[in-house]
Amino acid sequence: MKKLVNDPSDYVDEMLEGMVAAYPDRVRRLDGTKVLVRSDAPVDGKVGVVSGGGSGHEPTHAGYIGDGMLDGAAAGEVFTSPTADELNEMVRACDAGEGVLCVVKNYEGDVMNFDTAAEMAEMEDVEVAQVVVNDDVAVEDSLYTSGRRGVCGTILVHKAVGAKAADGGSLEEVQAVGEKVIDNVRTMGMALTSCITPEKGEETFDLGEDEIELGIGIHGEPGTERTEMMTADEVAEHLTENVLADLDPDDGDDVVSIVNGMGGTPLSELFIVNRKVQEILDDRGLETWDAWVGDYMTSLDMMGCSVTVCRVDDELKELLGAAVDTPALKR
């Protein structure tokens, strides 16, 4: 196994230690947990915004902790939900009395544990609301998921709800913004190679030398089809067309696009994909208000990418464009 790792069972623990060592003024770890929170959490007068999920998707979620985005992020083991107890601790640590919004990716374990955590926190008089992100258009119901999976669109939810909370929005208003992004964001991904989890040390699924998988999930869950190697333009076209078919935008709509790397694909290739994505959006009469290109929601060392399109109105532009100061996203 070709990884920069010590004992694989310490992978998440040591990754979190490395994050705190990198950003000691920004984040702190809740004792005895895999939860990171803003060093100044809870932030007075502000709704708390938290997320979490299995590790292996870095910089998701802890990389987005900071002003204008997340107050806390709970890490599970690789591709495994955080426990309800740890989620509850996070929610309580991020509550300044204004309530806490949980941004949940739609996986059964995450949904169940966030639900339980919310019940636990509410028993201690913390007001909790939730949004569940399900932006992946590839498949309905999958390994780990009823309904659609939550993938890279989650980052736009983090950004918008974080900005609304920073702007003094109430819990209800912050939640409404999250729902609005979810209603308007769609994603589809593909893999050139399988990821390799540190514990297992070998490929999660087999792909032939000339084979790729379309519609793949961020844990290597099956996609829509295996096919022969495609060009970057063909990949961009397949993903973008599927996303747009589902989103069904109107001519002249403003959108934010994301070409997201899966972890093992270099940035140069993502720009080659973005070239075609922008051409397609333009041909469809859509206006790209902002284009993101980079590794936002990864799957360990998997090679591949996803394409996200989010329709934005003036409110979402203001929130997505607002100042943010986190390790992984600044503006």
Q: Shortest Cβ distance from residue 271 to a copy of itself (Å)? A: 3
270 interacts with a copy of itself by CB under 8 A: yes
Residue of 61, 158, 219, 238 marked catalytic: 219
Selected from 192, 247, 286, 320, the binder of a copy of itself by CB under 8 A is: 192
Site map for a copy of itself, 248-267, x if CB under 8 A? ---------------xxxxx
295 interacts with a copy of itself by CB under 8 A: yes
Q: Which residues between 45 and 104 bind a copy of itself (CB under 8 A)?
A: 55-56, 58-59, 63
57 a catalytic residue: yes
| Shorter beta-carbon distance to a copy of itself: residue 48 or 264 | 264
How far, CA to CA in Å, does 313 sit from each of 50, 166, 255, 318?
24, 19, 8, 9
Site map for a copy of itself, 271-290, x if CB under 8 A? xxxxx--xx-----------
| Shorter beta-carbon distance to a copy of itself: residue 65 or 120 | 65
| Shorter beta-carbon distance to a copy of itself: residue 128 or 196 | 196
What residues contact 260, with CB distance under 8 A and at least 6 apart? 152, 187, 189, 270, 292, 294, 295, 296, 297, 298, 305, 306, 307, 308
> Would you name the residues annotated as active-site residues?
57, 219
